[in-house]
Amino acid sequence: MQGNQSHSRTEVLAIGLGPREEEEMQGILGPEFSLERFVFPCSGNGRPEMDNKLMALVSWRGVNGQIARLTRYSFSDENFPPRVLVLDAPVAQCDLERVVDAGFSSVLRYPFEPEKVKALVDQLMESQGLYKDLYHMAREICLEREILSRQADLLQFFNKILTNASFSLDTIEILHQAHEDLRILLPVKSVDAIFWQSNQNQELESEIFIHEHSGKQIQDRMIQFLLEHAEKHADQKIIGYHVNFMSKVESMEVIEDVREDDVLVLPLRFGGKSYGCISIASEKISRLGRDRLQTILAAVNHLALALRNALLFQQMRTRADRDALTRLPNRHYFDERMIQEVKRHQRYRIPLSLMMMDLDFFKSINDNYGHQAGDMVLQDIGRLLRDILRSSDIPARFGGEEFVVLLPHTTQEQAGILAGRILESIAKRRFHFKGKFFKVTASIGVASMETGFFAKNEDLLGEADAALYRAKASGRNMVCLAGEEDAEESRRQYA
């Protein structure tokens, strides 16, 4: 018998055949085939590999008493080749039923007839080729179904990203939703962003949106990380930035460290020009496959347009809510915020104060020096308020030369002290316009809402306005508190 001499030859299993029978069969099959003796039940290293076997020649004489066991063995292996019974001994009538039940695909009589053997081989070869073609077709169909399924999932993901991003013109809401949507692809810890634009001096200023990471150290490192990438993509140094801390989303994981390998930073482009960067933090970033990386890049391209629209809307709204001259919030914005703060006061019973300020004899400045001088004074007062006040305070130009400041978490006493500082800063200022020097003073009225549920914003405005009227009527350049009739005492204490 010739054994496994070449992997390129077609193999035929020989079960129970004698040496003479094997030799004759090998002569008929030719050198393109090799016989491999197979003994069952298997011992040693277990069953041989059944793939690519053409047939199994089973000697009736060799396995006469073990037909049932052979049947169980071959039926348990889906790769077992077709069985051909070699009738090399007489078959009794009582054994025919066992032969039929054994499921042989064909029968060869011994001595072998070469024509019948070759015809059977051709038939099995054709069947095996057809089986392989069907098998490959089935595999291709499965692969195509898998590809179509993945493409459908990607289309669904892109549709979700685009739809959710288009639902809002709020930058924080878009970033929060992107965090949730990107978790479909990988376990995202946070999605943060930085945007930049040129100021009047063509210097870059940026606005950063990051989540409230655990610990100031992590927050500072994330801010620095975003600034470094922003300067790289903008190809210009950023001279200033403002940070917006976003609240945590439910699915957000705690970030204990910021490593470059765990953060993917991608530029946001509009019209072929970068205007920002988005960072995606995940421990699996470094192990992203090419297809998923391309998917994330495509998703960020969708987000870039949505975020650009949100930023433009925010800029338009800022312009609409700002006084063009002083760059302070205008009356409309102030009225909306006052309603919100009054509701917060009523709900949480936190202190809330209001300061109303009027520049003394402002009309005389316009009359004596011109309206440009008056505009210069108003602009300077706007800068002064922005410098002195906290970020949580809400200043606004109320109209003409009148200003208001809403002071959350501030008692009337604290507001009076702050008003005194503002009054002192204004009085110390020396204005210069076209070679002429002059000074300006102001009068301030302060009121505070009582802790309770029945105070209204109209009451607060009325009380502060009445206090301002007393300050002006009592000689100007002073602070008067609501409920205090002694203007001189107010002057000594706060002016």
Cβ–Cβ under 8 Å, residues 329 and 395: yes
pLDDT at 6: 45
pLDDT at 481: 94
Residues 6+ apart with CB under 8 A from 256: 214, 218
Cβ–Cβ under 8 Å, residues 239 and 203: yes
pLDDT at 2: 47
Task: Tell me if 171-320 shares its fold with 331-494.
Answer: no
Tell me, which fold does domain 171-320 have in CATH?
Answer: Beta-Lactamase (3.30.450)
CATH number of 331-494: 3.30.70.270
> Going residue by residue through the chain (495 aa), what tens digit of pLDDT does each one get?
444 444 578 899 998 899 999 999 999 999 999 998 887 655 444 555 666 788 989 888 877 766 666 666 665 566 778 889 888 888 776 666 666 666 788 889 999 999 999 999 999 888 888 888 888 888 888 888 877 777 676 777 777 777 777 778 888 888 988 888 888 888 888 899 999 988 777 888 899 998 866 567 778 888 888 999 999 999 889 888 888 878 766 655 666 666 778 889 999 998 888 999 999 988 888 787 887 888 888 888 888 988 999 888 888 877 778 888 998 999 988 998 899 888 888 887 889 999 999 999 999 999 999 999 999 999 999 999 999 998 889 999 998 999 999 999 999 999 999 999 999 999 999 999 988 999 999 999 999 986 444 456 678 899 999 999 999 999 999 999 998 766 555 554 555
Domain residue extents for the chain? 10-133, 171-320, 331-494
Strand pairing report for 436-438 and 352-359: unpaired
The H-or-E segment that residue 60 falls in is helix 60-63
CA-to-CA separations, 117 to 9, 62, 84, 86, in angstroms, rounded: 17, 20, 11, 11
Q: Which two tokens stand for residue 327?
A: 């760059």
Burial code (b: 16+ CB inside 10 Å, e: under 16) for 87-110 equals ebeeeeeeeeeeeeebebeeebeb
Would the pTM count as exceeding 0.95? no
CATH number of 10-133: 3.40.50.2300
Q: Which two tokens stand for residue 276?
A: 């920002």
